Each structure stands twice: as structure tokens, then as C-alpha cells.
A and B are shown apart, each in its own frame.
Chain A
Amino acid sequence: MMLNSAAPAISIAQLNHYFGRGALRKQVLYDINLQIDRGEIIIMTGPSGSGKTTLLTLMGSLRSLHEGSLNILGTELFDASKEQMLLTRRNIGYIFQAHNLLGFLTAYQNVEMALEIQDVTAVEADERIREMLAAVGLEHRMDYYPSDLSGGQKQRVAIARALVSQPKIILADEPTAALDKKSGRDVVEIMEKLAREQGCTILLVTHDNRILDLADRIIYMEDGYLVNRSDVAAIVQRRFSVLRK
């Protein structure tokens, strides 16, 4: 029971979030409570517009909290200063639906960018970049620009970029959405394997049923509420009964 002593990677309590102001203010997240342990691989799923991405950006320290508590690796993000939010972001690796690589940098340089804000020696940086690109199977494409890589290859560069700084948490939003079945599965498997090696926590938002088996835990979100697994069946039931009527 060693894990009990470690602080959870992500801990959310009574979180509410809103969009808009004044009369147009609309609540998008309701009373979110969630705990993710270190090393866990979580898949979050749910219909479009259910608030998944909003929750992801809050966990990613990319948006300020409105109400409740959100603790990332022991740092409370409620009322956090811009500087605190920025430093928290440096412990998180992001993988986006679009690869979001820098078009004017080669694969190698894109991965190198992640080390620009880390304290590393030149030799160590070079080793890590080469290792990481080899791990995603791109050791022969290091000097290619993103425009010369396929969709799957670009997403693999993005994974190498997210992992090279050895973050504690990986946040991924629909990383397979732009990929075909085979390369989508490959990309997530590489991500999972590397994350397990580094003991890194993954939270992955996806609609892709083909990769659900890779998760330790699946959480479901609907209309701004996190729904328990046992309740999912109930929701499905309710949906069906609505349809029957």
C-alpha cells in the first residue's frame, strides 16, 4: 500500500465552471469530484459539448478556476497566480487533436522545443531527443519538417515532444481523431507504453471505442456532470426508454 502515501496526480472537488457573463452566463460543469492516482491511465468519454474539453483545459492549468478545488501534483489551482499556473503547465505534457507542431521546425527541433524551458545539458538533451524519436519509430525522420510527415507520424512527433521533458501528467484530447484506425491505435499504444515506463499519469479524452481497452479506468461525462460507471448503464437505459416512447 505504498501508493496511499503518495499525493494523487489530480484531485478535483466540488468544481463548478461557467461560460459567458451576466445574463448570458451558463454553467458548463456541475459539482465535479474526481481523483486520479499517479500512474493511472484514464479515458474520459462522453458526447460532444458535455464539458470534457473544458475540464481538460482546467486540469491543464490553461484556464482559471471559478469554483471548487483542483489540485495538480500537490499544487492548488484555485486562485493560483499566472506564474503558478505557468509553472504547473511545465509538469504537464499536452497532446492535441491537431498535432500543433511548429511548422518551421524539423521533427528533432519540435521535440527540442520542449527542452527549451528545462534545465538540461546539451549532451543530455540530444540523447533524450534521439531516444524519444526512436521510441516513437521516427529515428529516420528526425530532420523532416511536419509538412513532409504523415498524420500518424506528426502525432508521434507530438507524443515525443510531450514526453521528452518527462512530465508527471499527460493530457490528450482526441489524439486519434485525425488518424485512421491502424495508426490511431499505434499512436495510443506508443503513448501508453512510454507513459508506463516513465510512471506518468494519462488522461485521454476520446470518442474512439477502439482504444477503450487500454485504460485502467473509464469516466463518462454528460451535460457537465461526471457520471459513475454504474450509472452509465442507467443513463443508457433511460435513453432507450425515451426513444421507445
Chain B
Amino acid sequence: MNKLAKKKPLFLSWLQLRKGRARLIVAIAGISFADVLMFLQMGFRGALFSSAVEFHNSLNGEIIMMSGRSRSLISLDRFTERRLYEAAGVAGVASVSPIYLNPIQWRNPDNKEIWDIYAIGINPEHDVMNLPGVVANRQQLREPDTALFNSGSRQEFGAIAQQFESGKAIATEINERQVRVRGLFNLSPTFGINAYLVTSDVNFLRMANFRRKGLIDIGVIKLQPGADVDKVLTEMRARLPSDVKVMTRDDYAKAEVAFWSASTPVGYTFDLGVVIAFIVGAVIVYQILYSDVTDHLPEYATLKAMGFRDRYLLVVVFQESLILAALGFIPGTLIALGIYRITNIATMLPMAMDLGRVIFVFTLTAIMSSISAAIAVRKLQTADPADIF
């Protein structure tokens, strides 16, 4: 060791926290609680958005066409498939494929209860949905009264996936027709859709006999390799009447997210939840730091008398707040991961942790603790060294 090395400063903030064991545990518990709340709100929000666009992202095409009045999968309007074939004439388009969408009544084969299921009618000859189960089994949908079932469905629809995988033939009644399940695919439930069913356009019109052939919900447009998407879109918009709109698949997914976040109470609810968790956490940290500063006021006054600057004490309190933030964040994150897993099993919602969210919540925790520290240190000014004699 270097003989001339400066004395290492005492880590006063940590020594102080460590000595108040009970207070330290309460603080860590409080911050963990706030972090868990924030993670959950963000997790639900993230699950809502990522599940809402799983269908969109599965579509095998660069451009999507829909009615001018369509807003979301749960707020659709129909348009004539003639528009899709008009668009097919634009240079750069390789193929087009119509899709029918409608909730239909599914009878749970186990207990005969009726539940709405979201039916997707595709042309079984077209590779239009890029989901493993659909790609593998779509040809089978050419047979009448067949469907593919969603293995990510909630239990209300019956234990279809388990029974299918154990080799059992499953048939149930839809619109007074016996429909057989021929395969499984996976789409997560969303806040608006509990389960999906994929079938052929022909079978779709049999199951939903109130729908008219030729009036479709979305059109999937596949471009030739190397085609300029923006150019094709501009050309289509110039050519098509305003009863339909066309957009890239990414914009289609973004529009769905925007719908949930802006046009339903759901996005707002979760954002507010994050804000409330933040405030709860800040209040807890403030309470802890304030009583900590108050209890140590005579000690701080002594330090001031000894010639320590106010800045030294400020740094101590801010360090305490950041140590608490870090110590509370670790168990908070672990608990949140556990609850994500449990929620995923219970609801099938795709609750996933990503690094961005971890960093964001940590930043919020640090800000929360710093704000609390900034309020608590005002108490420090009442530590008057002249009072200690």
C-alpha cells in the first residue's frame, strides 16, 4: 500500500443506513413495493400492446388494406374485395389476399357454454399468415367445416389444445354445424379478444352466414422483391377511392397500439398506475429519509460545528437515497419477474421483461428517491451548530 495514499473517506451514508436495520428493511420493502407496482403497470401495458399486434405482425405482406372507417381489430368495417384487385394492378405488387374477420359463437365442447371467438377467414391456398401452425395446416382447411384452434386460448373455451395434442379428435358446434379442429397455432389473448380461430374463407362464410361473400375486412398485399413500398403506396392512394386506406404493416400495427392507448381507457389507466406507484414510492422514501434526518439532527449539528460543510451532509442524504433506490430495486425486480410469470400462466397475456423497461424503472426509482431526498434535506438547515452546547 502506498504510504502517502490519502485517507479513504468514511462511507457515512451506508454506515448510517446499516445501523438503523429496521428502518433500512422498511425502506427497501417500500421501494420494492413501488417498483413492483411500476413493473406491473408497465408489464400489463406492454402485454396489452404486444398481444394486440401479434395478429398484425403475423400477416405475410408489406401493405395492408382496410376500410376507411376501420380503427382496430375490435372496431372494423367491411369493404369490397374489388378494391384489393384494383390495387393488385399497381406496379410492384406480387399478390393480394383477402381476409374475413368476425367474432362467432364457439361452444365449449366440455361444458357446452357459448363464448365469442374471433374467427379469421383466409384463403387456404395463400401463405398469408406467418404462424407455424397455420403454415403447416392451412391446406387441411380446404375440407368443409374444419378450423385451426388457438393454443394460447383461455380455459373458458375448453381444454382444446391439451386434448388435441393427446391425439383426441375434437369437434364442436358453430352455427349449428359440426366443426373439427385440425391443428393449433398460437396467438396471445388481447384485452379485446379472448381467443382466435383460423379457417378458410369458404368455411368462414358457412360459420358466419350473416356475412356476405366479397365484403372483406382486411386485404394483405405482398410486393415483388425490391419494390419500393412508399412508391407503391403513393400510387395506390392516387388510384383508389377514399372508402379504403392502405398502409405498411408496421403502420397498421402502430395504428392498433394507438387505438388502445388513445381511444380506450386502458392505456391511460396503466399510465396513471405508473404515476401513482411513483408517488407512493416517493412518499415512502421521503418518510424514511425525513425521520432519518430528524433523528440524526443533533449529530449533523455536531458535524457542522466541527467544520463540515452543508454540502457534505447533502451528499450523505442523497447517497442514502440512491443506496435505498438500488437496494429496493433488486428485490422489486425479482418479485416483478415472478408476478409476470404467474400472470402469464393465469391469463396467457404475454408479460415480458425487457432491458429498456428495467433501465426505465431504475431511472424512475433513482429520480423518485432523489426528489424525496431533496425535500428531506430541507430539514438539515434546522441543524444549527450553535444549539448543540
Contact = CB atoms under 8 A, between A and B. Distances in A.
User: Do A and B originate from a single complex?
Assistant: yes
Interface stretch (A8-16, A121-129, A226-234, A236-244): A121-129
A90 B307 contact: yes
How many of chain A's residues touch chain B, expressed as a range?
Answer: 35 or more
A62 B5 contact: no
Contact residues of A: prevailing secondary structure:
loop
B302 interface: yes
B386 A62 contact: yes
Interface string B378-389: 000000011011
A196 interface: no
A40 interface: no
Contact of A122 (B8, B308, B386): B8
Contact residues of B: prevailing secondary structure:
loop
A53 B389 contact: yes
Given A53-B389, A97-B389, A100-B388, A117 B302 contact: no
B7 interface: yes
B24 to A, nearest CB: 11
A109 B10 contact: yes
A123 B12 CA distance: 20
Interface string A92-105: 00101110101111
Contacts of A98: 298
A97 B307 CA distance: 19
Interface residues of B, number: 29
A89 interface: yes
Contacts of A56: 389
B305 interface: yes
B16 interface: yes
B306 A113 contact: yes
B389 A173 contact: yes
Contact of B6 (A62, A122, A173): A122
Nearest to A114: B306
A87 B307 contact: yes
B131 interface: no
Interface string B288-313: 00000000101100110111110000
Given A56-B389, A122-B6, A104 B302 contact: no
B332 to A, nearest CB: 26
Contact of B16 (A62, A86, A90, A104): A104
B212 interface: no
Contacts of A96: 302, 388-389
Contacts of A173: 389
A157 B4 CA distance: 27
Contact of A117 (B19, B296, B307, B386): B307
A104 B20 contact: yes
A123 B8 CA distance: 10
B15 interface: yes
The winner among B10, B307, B386 for most chain A CB atoms within 10 A is: B307
Interface of B: 1, 3-10, 12, 15-16, 18-20, 296, 298-299, 302-303, 305-309, 385-386, 388-389
Q: List the 9 shortest-distance A-B pairs measured between CB atoms, nearest first.
A: A104-B19, A90-B307, A89-B307, A125-B7, A62-B386, A100-B302, A173-B389, A122-B7, A63-B386
Given A117-B307, A119-B6, A122-B7, 11 more contacts: A60-B389, A94-B306, A104-B296, A105-B10, A105-B15, A113-B303, A114-B306, A116-B9, A116-B308, A123-B3, A123-B5
Interface of A: 53, 56-57, 60, 62-63, 86-87, 89-90, 94, 96-98, 100, 102-105, 109, 112-117, 119-125, 145, 173
17 contacts: A62-B305, A62-B385, A94-B305, A94-B306, A96-B389, A100-B388, A112-B7, A113-B10, A116-B7, A116-B9, A119-B6, A120-B7, A121-B3, A121-B5, A123-B3, A123-B5, A145-B19
